[in-house]
Amino acid sequence: MATATAPDTTAEFADHEEVDHGHPADSTYWKVGGFLVVLTALEVSTYFWPESWRKGGAIALIIMMIIKFGTVAAYFMHLKNDAVILRRMFLTGLIVACTVYGVTLLAFNFYDDSGVGEFNDPPRAKPLPPTPTEVPASIPAGGGGH
């Protein structure tokens, strides 16, 4: 009985080269990870900054957040090596989401004090008790025990 052998396809793929898709080396990922650790430590350190630096600290945190997001998206989500159309789609969604968030935040800030006094009154410290009423005639005067 003859055995079937697999056809030789090495000649068919002889002109096929190994294609590098542009992914970075492992050392690049370690460098990016180290950069993110340093940036995270700097973000955590803002908790210990003096009180007078709070506004600048908030701005610094937003800037560091944007840098970290961009770094993670570029390297770990491989957007740096993707097709341009995929990067544009991702950035379009990101811009729309940030715009919706910003408009919502501005709406809360704008309508916080719109000048209408009836909605901006602080609540009373204690609610007032209800005013006493007369005992209805249907309830007996003696207390009505069974």
The reported pLDDT for the residue numbered 33 is 93
Mean pLDDT value across the chain: 77
The reported pLDDT for the residue numbered 40 is 95
Q: Is residue 8's pLDDT more than 90?
A: no
In order, the DSSP letters of the chain are: -PPP-----TTTTTTPPPPP--PPPHHHHHHHHHHHHHHHHHHHHGGGS-GGGHHHHHHHHHHHHHHHHHHIIIIIS-GGGS-HHHHHHHHHHHHHHHHHHHHHHHHHHHGGG-S-GGGSPPPPSSPPPPPP-PPPTTS-TT----
Give 9-68 pLDDT, tens digit per residue.
555 555 555 545 667 788 988 999 999 999 999 999 999 989 888 888 888 998 998 899
CA distance 85 to 52: 44
Cβ–Cβ contacts within 10 Å for residue 75, how many?
Answer: 20
- Cβ–Cβ under 8 Å, residues 87 and 95: no
